[in-house]
Structure 1
Amino acid sequence: MTNYYDVDDILAEEELVPAVFQKTANGVGIFDCCDDTNKVGAGTEVEMPFWLACDLYVKQAVKIKVPSCFDTKIGDKTIGPFLLVAFRTRYKEVLIKAYTAASTVAIKQLPLLTQEEMKLYEAGQSSIMAFKKWRMGGPRLQKASVLGRKRKPTE
């Protein structure tokens, strides 16, 4: 089912998932902390590691429920396009501020940026600085260093 050496697979299998026991099980009282006996009755809902829930599901001992993080809001088809528009708009705003903002305005806005936006802002700042440096001075045409080293053939 998984790659033995893949860290993501290991972490995914340690994730707790809700499951409902279909049969009474002895020796698994650790899952039901409310009961002093060492058994879990049929119909009891508990959380268990994903790897164990999969094995018990194959043996038809439990029924795995969908975790609460995957409710109907996650399946909403309109969220994807909305987030794409929001990301594009924010991307444009960060670049515009990087190119045009005065230093005092930029200092106020920096704590509000995420790490990704901070990298984008810094890339925009370095880009505009390099452009200004190129625009203000320096030779327009530069000769490649390899061109000066060639020898003319002697006849």
Structure 2
Amino acid sequence: MAQYYDIDDIVMEEEIVSVVFQVAANGVGLLDPSAETNSVAQGSKVELPFWLAQELHVRQAVAMNVLACFNQKTRKEVQADAACVDLRNRCPYFYELGCKIAPLVGDRTIGSFLLYTFSSRYKEVLSKAHSAAFVVAPKFLSILTKEEIHLYEAARSSMAAFKKWRVGGPRFERASILGRKRRPAD
């Protein structure tokens, strides 16, 4: 419930995933626009938003397929040079969706792939946030996921606050009590 009102979480759960129905379902013709009837047959492949696919998976009505952003092609590109891979076009909420979908699809390698991808890109994100000119930033930001953009903005604002402090921001003040001398004890 902590993320119930989080707009990023709501948008992330609207990502489309591919599922295969394990059982026939009646009264769900709207799920499959190409269907002529108001039902979905067992074994039908349908694209659903993640929130619905997750709920149907919990009820064992569907089996979820691995998303394209976690396939072998993407993994090879990340292994070659993670900092240059455009993850935003593949899935804007790459890490969060990966964490939620990994236990559902039964692919144990997704977790380690997410960790490798994040750790490979983390250094580059912070490096660009601290040193990149504002002209370079829009091009770099266009390949980052939403999570990485939050990290970039946090690093950028902390660097700006540090520079402001270093140039002459508020300094530590000496406590007034430190200026007084003690009276000798009799």
- TM-score norm. by structure 1 comes to 0.51
How much does 1:80 deviate? 4.3
Q: Give the fraction of aligned pairs with identical amino acids, expressed as a percent.
A: 44
Query: Which residue type is aligned with residue 63 of structure 2?
Result: K
How much does 1:115 deviate? 2.3
Aligned to 2:37: 37
- Alpha-carbon distance in 2 for matches of 1:8, 1:65: 23
Query: What do residues 11-58 of structure 1 show as CA deviations (whole Å, max 9, x unaligned)?
Result: 111111100000000011112222221000000000001101011000
Aligned to 1:115: 138
How much does 1:74 deviate? 2.3
Query: Which residue type is aligned with residue 63 of structure 1?
Result: A
Flag structure 2 segments of 5+ consecutive residues without an equivalent.
Answer: 85-119, 141-186
Secondary structure of 1:35's aligned partner: coil
Aligned to 1:71: 71
- Alpha-carbon distance in 2 for matches of 1:28, 1:81: 41
Distance 1:12 1:38, change over 3 A: same
Q: CA RMSD in A?
A: 3.3
Query: What do residues 103-128 of structure 1 show as CA deviations (whole Å, max 9, x unaligned)?
Result: xxxxxxxx9x56257xxxxxxxxxxx
Flag structure 1 segments of 5+ consecutive residues without an equivalent.
Answer: 99-110, 118-155
Q: How does 1:3-152 map to 2 (within 5 A)?
A: 3-76=3-76, 78-80=79-81, 83=84, 115=138
Answer yes or no: is the 8 Å Cα contact 1:22–1:61 preserved in 2: yes
- Alpha-carbon distance in 2 for matches of 1:30, 1:116: 39
**Structure 1 residue ranges, 4+ long, deviating more than 4 angstroms after superposition:** 80-84
- Alpha-carbon distance in 1 for matches of 2:55, 2:3: 17
Distance 1:58 1:29, change over 3 A: same
Answer yes or no: is the 8 Å Cα contact 1:18–1:65 preserved in 2: yes
Query: What do residues 118-139 of structure 1 show as CA deviations (whole Å, max 9, x unaligned)?
Result: xxxxxxxxxxxxxxxxxxxxxx
Aligned to 1:136: none
How much does 1:73 deviate? 2.4
Larger radius of gyration: 1
How much does 1:68 deviate? 1.6
Aligned residues: 98
- Alpha-carbon distance in 2 for matches of 1:32, 1:116: 38
Query: Which residue type is aligned with residue 79 of structure 2?
Result: T
Secondary structure of 1:57's aligned partner: helix
Answer yes or no: is the 8 Å Cα contact 1:2–1:9 preserved in 2: no
